[in-house]
Chain A
Amino acid sequence: MTPLLDIDCLSAGYGAVQALSDVSLQVMSGEIVTLIGANGAGKSSLLMSICGDPKPRAGRIRLTGEDITGAPTHAIMRRGVAQSPEGRRIFPRMTVRENLLMGAEALTREDPAAQLEQVFTLFPRLKERLAQRGGTLSGGEQQMLAIGRALMSKPRLLLLDEPSLGLAPLVAKLIFGAIRRLNAETGLTVLLVEQNAFQALRLAHRGYVLVNGRITMEGSGAALLARPEIREAYLGGHG
């Protein structure tokens, strides 16, 4: 079976900084795959590089076999990729409703009403905040909005960058629950970047460990959780 996302020996970086070296990674349709690693390991760079910014310096990226290496960002997103990026990047001067609609604006011709409803079932809180400006939401609400906005285009592949960062444990749990539900109910394929390795590995079918821009380990979520070196390096707090 052709993987939905197939990254083959990818190298990328910014200016003189080489952020990713020789990264190979596959995501099958319907899977939740997580990428764990320390700060600065290159996790966000990898998600952004899949979206064409920065453009790969070497290697190939394929979506269901189709080569998208070097394509402009908007063209890649139009092939069914959506990202909830690092820092959430909510449009601060648009309302919650406008932010959500922007998620569908350039990516789908379908009536966004049905998709809006799905986002509201997932995050009822957003419905209460519809007319509020994005910049005035709390961190947790902004995260829900960022994910909701990414879902508006009905993506084939959802890229999530640190959805639990800076959130209260209860809110983080709600977000992880929503990801699990989406995957179970709609079969949505997710590539999840997390520093909360314990939660991420419990949620994911498979995981990769990124160290200094290179993949050092891969395996099923449970198998990685059981590895002593993982427990030591990333799960200190939960040991």
Chain B
Amino acid sequence: MAYALQQLINGISLGMIYGLIAVGYTMVYGIIGMINFAHGDVFMIGAFIALITALLLSAGGMLDGPAAILLMLLISMAFTAFYGWTMERVAYRPLRGSFRLAPLITAIGLSIVLQNYVQVSQGARVKPMEALLPGGIEVMRDGGFVVQLSFTQMLIIGVTLAVLAVFTLLVTRTPLGRAMRACEQDRKMAALLGIDTDRTISLTFVIGAALAAVAGTMYLLRYGVIDFYIGFLAGVKAFTAAVLGGIGSLPGAVLGGLLIGLIETFWSAYFSVQYKDVAAFSILVLTLIFLPTGLLGRQEVEKV
């Protein structure tokens, strides 16, 4: 019981990270109908910028307390958002109106470019970082087993919920959110209603990248080691989460992320750690076969 509770806590905090990345996949898919396979690497870039910020702060003797973490988060979001914007501007916009496969292939190419760029500029070795928030609280004690909720996990859950709340308000209550929804449903009509669709698509990439940066920073704080390759696995899992939740659905992405995080954690805890990726990707295969629209997705036949 205590063991399961611990897995639940671990699974939720991991799932939150997947959920944040998955939102980026699902947003871009919703608005331009393309899977941005470089999005996992944007998450990796976010983790690296957070680490670089931490190292700079540490060099200045200021890597301490919540202010340092907040600074890492904000700087990572700002720079990663810029990466997201550039990516769309340079690689995807010129291909708009081209055949469907072109941006998809470009995305895969871009993913390789980003990985190699970081590998060359930052080195291929794994980068460690000291724990910024050591310790935690004891939730429950069962014989010799102590269920712990670490401060980092609390931070991950708190920050993710706050970021998702702001993001939800943005999509449902602001002119930008309405423009995004209009573009998602009918881009040509949105333009006829005076919406600058190019700008809306740019901002979608910017927001998606900023959310991935939050995930990257949280990942760095939680696991303490990153390398240029972390974006691949995290990206594919977040993509799985987006598909499981129903690609195009924002609540679905968060739900899918949580489920994948939980499945992966419980599988590792009760069956085999070696096969945890197999478990996550089997979900992708099963979803695509039996529930292609995902849990909260909708049928594509709605066009009148």
Interface residues of A (CB under 8 A from B): 51, 53, 72-74, 77-78, 82-83, 85, 88-94, 98, 101-103, 105-107, 135, 142, 149, 153
Contact = CB atoms under 8 A, between A and B. Distances in A.
B178 interface: yes
Interface of B: 175, 178-179, 181-182, 185-186, 188-189, 191-198, 302-304
25 contacts: A53-B191, A72-B198, A77-B193, A78-B194, A82-B192, A85-B192, A89-B186, A89-B189, A91-B182, A92-B304, A94-B181, A94-B182, A98-B178, A101-B178, A105-B175, A105-B178, A105-B182, A105-B193, A105-B195, A106-B194, A106-B196, A135-B302, A135-B304, A142-B304, A149-B193
Contact of B195 (A83, A89, A94, A106): A106
Contacts of B181: 91, 93-94
A83 B148 CA distance: 60
Contacts of A135: 302, 304
Contacts of B197: 73-74
Contacts of B179: 105-106
A103 B178 CA distance: 11
A88 B303 CA distance: 11
B185 A92 contact: yes
A98 B188 CA distance: 17
A100 B27 CA distance: 24
B24 to A, nearest CB: 21
A19 B3 CA distance: 69
B194 A107 contact: yes
B83 to A, nearest CB: 26
A102 B184 CA distance: 13
Contacts of A98: 178
Given A91-B185, A91-B186, A102 B192 contact: no
